[in-house]
Structure 1
């Protein structure tokens, strides 16, 4: 144990570097109060509410909470429709993401140090230097595409308002009309003012950020865990005769412990990510099938829809790769010659076969079959939404205001 502690003082934690950039972005967004994210040493990480960051963090949490409160109040005061439901769900999930990120921040240093202890025990199976640039590339690429989508939604809506008002440039009148059409859930409840609009717009951007960064974290964690299983699988496939089956089983058990440790902190974020993506994919498809496309929103709609589908699919596939990589040793163990099939091989085989090693969303494991289940769920609920639209007159505004009217009220 003492030797492990000495090693952890000098070794770089792969997991820390894996999620360092996403967590730094969370901190810049006012949602992750942890110091030491820029340092290479994990022992400088600590949950901190120091001045002046505490002011920014508190303002962010309060802003998202108030905005969510307005959306929920508006939902209960207005006639039920997909419009009011989708807006309320968007902000409620944004608030839940914020709360989960704060809870993760409070336990971040403990998680990183525990993961580092496990990584030290897995040093001998690491075959290549970790390519940290992969995590950074995924992080900034996804967040840039999300920022582009957000900017396109704003531009398309302002352009529509300018066309309605016959304005050739952005004026205060255009901005007022834009904010009023963007946030009826706020200004139906409280009086309008420009400063309120700007503050609520910031909260909206932070909620959008929380949605996207959750997928980014899931992607990075999935790649990190899969890489460790791939290294162990390479040893099992090519060099298992040079290492005892008992040692291989112990190393595999360490990887299982690593997955469970990380999953215990991320499972609720994964659940929220899958639920949010599923709901808004259904909503986008519903708008596609049930609306007349407006030229003003067409470019934004196509980009937004493709981005949402692609991001959700990649997130699911990468997360499912953890389970796939964890199951691969079973094919080698199953073909061990009878003369070499010892008690340790039998234990290893049973452990792989009867232990589900995968990231989870609390109530489900993320596997390849999960993606098929999600596709089936989308089709099912799409039929439900279409039936709901036929029977509910309250959804008439969906067709009257353009393809993306309801969705843009949330994201713009």
Structure 2
């Protein structure tokens, strides 16, 4: 029974033509998960025809997404209010930032969902042409499924450790027992101001776990889209490599020019799609880097505190490594697009003079001038060099935080406690 259910979910029972490795089919399961947690409210996401995907304001998915987003804002507001009542210190901003980031991420995905059907329709036409005329270099469908599942599992494990850290911490104590004790401890920023009941505890637990997926989903989506776009550029590059190796023996000058014109037009279409995709993802990219940097700085600052228990130590090192991995993987996979878009230059510049023509010259010029990359609203470009820039920024701002947060630092040095925010 479970095997049949998974086959229906993953599309394994479809006809061979219905699971072509186009973007829509590769992301179908991932976007289904997004809708379960209340983001990306588009209709017909499970339909094998990308043209059937639509966005409608009057739908239950929009209502469900709105309620989930309101839950994030509700928890973030109460958490921030409690942190203000005891004096705003750096260590107290983890929970407010967590829920506010989930709320802003949901807003970004609403905007993306509104524009996604038009983009997907245009992109699928180009992608179908690429798949028909260019050889694939990997099983993109499996790569997307495995990568998505792995990243979600790692994210949920991080949150599970966070919950354990709260439950077994020595502070945030209350006189309740059983489930009430756990709920009041984990959601102290809510039940300090509201009466407790079991249903509220379950709802807040659902919101908390949902926020975990949403908090990570922006990075997951950027990484998966980067894998897909990198593969498409790699297919064109492979065609260029094969063509440059065979052109001397298989093509005359007229055939060669027509072939290179087609390759250049396909490359130009990929560049245009990347520009459109960058406009769609700029909000997510900017939010990803800003929030990941903030959490890294706070976690580094928290490392100055002596750990109160083994569980707390395990959670800290896992969580810190997880956030570092997020920003590194987003940078590396995003940079692969830029790297792959320029990978064909050595093949083109090594062509013999007698086979050099106007189309090849235009292609070389375009690769040089149109440097493809994801950006954060053009504030920065996602390239491999960005990783070093981020590392330098972390060191600089961490020193600033230590200097201007002496109150929190003194508290860390004089007390060994788990912070309940």
The interval holding the TM-score normalised by the smaller chain is 0.7 to 0.9
Change in CA separation of 1:352 and 1:293 when aligned onto 2, cut-off 3 Å: farther
Change in CA separation of 1:156 and 1:86 when aligned onto 2, cut-off 3 Å: closer
Deviations 1:76-119 (A, max 9, x none): 55422113333332222111101111122222221210111221
Change in CA separation of 1:96 and 1:349 when aligned onto 2, cut-off 3 Å: same
User: What TM-score does the superposition give when structure 1 sets the normalisation length?
Assistant: 0.85
SS at match of 2:47: coil
Partner in structure 1 of residue 145 of structure 2: 136
Partner in structure 2 of residue 323 of structure 1: 338
In 2: Cα distance, 1:51 partner to 1:107 partner: 16
After TM superposition, the structure 1 = structure 2 runs for residues 6-17 of structure 1, keeping only pairs within 5 Å, are 12=20, 14-17=22-25
- Higher RCO (CA 8 Å, separation ≥ 6 residues): 1
Partner in structure 2 of residue 372 of structure 1: 388
Q: Give the gaps of 5 or more residues in structure 1.
A: 1-8, 166-170
Partner in structure 1 of residue 368 of structure 2: 353
Corresponding position: 1:154 with 2:155: no
Q: Give the gaps of 5 or more residues in structure 2.
A: 1-16
Pick which of 341-350 and 190-199 moved more: 190-199
Partner in structure 2 of residue 145 of structure 1: 154
Partner in structure 1 of residue 55 of structure 2: 47
Could you say what the CA RMSD is over the residues aligned between the two structures, in angstroms?
3.0
Deviations 1:240-290 (A, max 9, x none): 325533332212111111212222211211211122222212222222244
Aligned length: 392
Per-residue deviation at 1:372?
Answer: 1.0
Matched-pair contact (CA < 8 Å) for 1:294–1:402: no
In 1: Cα distance, 2:414 partner to 2:192 partner: 22
After TM superposition, the structure 1 = structure 2 runs for residues 287-302 of structure 1, keeping only pairs within 5 Å, are 287-292=302-307, 294-302=309-317
Per-residue deviation at 1:393?
Answer: 4.9
Corresponding position: 1:36 with 2:44: yes
Matched-pair contact (CA < 8 Å) for 2:304–2:412: no
After TM superposition, the structure 1 = structure 2 runs for residues 170-209 of structure 1, keeping only pairs within 5 Å, are 172-209=176-213
In 1: Cα distance, 2:355 partner to 2:282 partner: 39
After TM superposition, the structure 1 = structure 2 runs for residues 194-343 of structure 1, keeping only pairs within 5 Å, are 194-240=198-244, 241=247, 242=251, 243-244=256-257, 245-292=260-307, 294-343=309-358
In 2: Cα distance, 1:209 partner to 1:392 partner: 33
Matched-pair contact (CA < 8 Å) for 1:278–1:378: yes
Pick which of 226-235 and 278-287 moved more: 278-287
Corresponding position: 1:24 with 2:35: no
